[in-house]
A and B are shown apart, each in its own frame.
Chain A
Amino acid sequence: MASASRSIVSLALVLAACGHTPGSPSTADVVVAVLPEEGGKVGTVVVHPTSGDTKVLNSAYAGAHLRGAGKVESVTLDRPQVDRTFGAALSALPIPPVSYLVYFLEGSDELTPESHANLSRIAAELANRPAAEVAVIGHTDLVGNDQYNDALSTQRAQRVRDELVRAHVPPERIEVAARGKREPLFRTAEGVADPRNRRVEISVR
């Protein structure tokens, strides 16, 4: 219900923005198509025309062509058409965001030796990313109370931040957060020391 009324509001906004009153559709020509992602997966886009029926696009290169007075036509593009029309826009897509995990010794803010080496590679990757922004989020396993783990996860995140700054990542581009033991990657019983949960997530965009 709430979402239905919201989309009506958005619809009204679009019509207002275009200087059209409801019932006099836009004269703009609009083409939309979904593309296969890496690995061949295709998502879904739902086209809500200002007049005419909703169309669901959920197969590779499936599209809709809207022109003039409420004419909605299903179309299928091919790769050469996509490249011709959208090549410039597609080539300006940023490097996709990525997320890394580094792991720690039990009850400590010392990285495991393997993660220590990984962190250097991550820092190097960051240096190659234009205007990189980094979120560093600390976690613990389920040993100890919240107070202890909040402090420990903060220390771990801070430790990773310091290493990244030392590797010349600008400090103003790094956000630090800590979740204690609230978001274990692997749900274990309380008090279980699981190395997979003693981690810091480095989320890069």
Chain B
Amino acid sequence: MSQLHATVRLTIVRLTIASVALALAAAWSAPSLGADAGRIKVSKGSVSIQRDGKKLPAPVGAAIQQQDTVVTGADGTVGITFQDSSMLSAGPNSVLTIDKYVFDRTTNKGEFESSLKQGTLAAVSGKMVKQSPESMRVKTPAAIMGVRGTEFVVRVTEPTR
């Protein structure tokens, strides 16, 4: 009995080591899939990228990475195409963060999480969602949208304080 117990424990330890190693390998290999999640294709009026606490310009052609926040002013609109051919665009006075973007071009598997804190968003899903439904998610303060393949729109209005 105790031998069985020990074997089970050993197996669990091995599994844990294996999963930690896998997680490390996944974390390590993530940048090789391309640090750029997407690229700005449309940029009008006032648009900026917040990255590592810095405010950067956001012209057509600028790369978008995981953790970037794209901010539009009162006259600003922006459109981004991602590696899996999904697209997000934002209207004026919007704050959109790309929380997570991972995509494997060979298997079309990945994960895409963005959040709209404020403003308006139009979204078109891409190859990732065809491969695994709801791998693309748009978060808002009141709900998470799981995308199973479509074009859709979201508006977030925060109450005036």
Contact = CB atoms under 8 A, between A and B. Distances in A.
Interface of A: 3, 7, 10-11, 13-14, 17-18, 25-37, 42-50, 57, 64, 66-67, 72, 82, 85-97, 129-131, 133, 135, 177, 205
Contact of B41 (A31, A50, A94): A94
Interface of B: 39-42, 44, 60-61, 77-81, 83, 85, 87, 89-92, 94, 99, 105, 113, 115, 120-122, 124-126, 134, 137, 139-159
A94 to B, nearest CB: 4
Contacts of B146: 7, 45-48
A14 B142 CA distance: 9
12 contacts: A13-B99, A29-B158, A32-B155, A47-B146, A72-B143, A86-B122, A88-B92, A88-B120, A89-B120, A89-B121, A94-B42, A94-B79
B37 to A, nearest CB: 12
B42 A29 contact: no
A168 B56 CA distance: 28
A26 B60 CA distance: 34
B148 A89 contact: no
Nearest to B121: A89
Contacts of B85: 96-97, 205
Given A43-B147, A49-B143, 12 more contacts: A10-B113, A17-B115, A36-B151, A45-B146, A47-B146, A66-B142, A82-B153, A89-B121, A92-B44, A130-B41, A131-B60, A205-B85
Contacts of A18: 141
A35 B157 CA distance: 20
A175 B150 CA distance: 27
A130 B61 contact: yes
Nearest to A19: B141
A47 to B, nearest CB: 5
A3 B83 CA distance: 23
> Which of B78, B126, B156 has the largest number of chain A CB atoms within 10 A?
B156
B143 A48 contact: yes
> Which of B113, B120, B141 has the largest number of chain A CB atoms within 10 A?
B141
Given A32-B145, A42-B150, A43-B125, A89 B159 contact: no
B140 A28 contact: yes
A97 B140 CA distance: 26
Nearest to B78: A92
> Which of A89, A91, A95 has the largest number of chain B CB atoms within 10 A?
A89
A31 B55 CA distance: 29
B153 A46 contact: no
Given A30-B156, A43-B150, A130-B42, A89 B91 contact: yes
A50 B77 CA distance: 28
Given A28-B159, A86-B153, A88-B92, A45 B144 contact: no
> Which of B60, B120, B153 has the largest number of chain A CB atoms within 10 A?
B153
A32 B124 contact: no
Contacts of B145: 32, 45-48
Nearest to B77: A92
A131 B143 contact: no
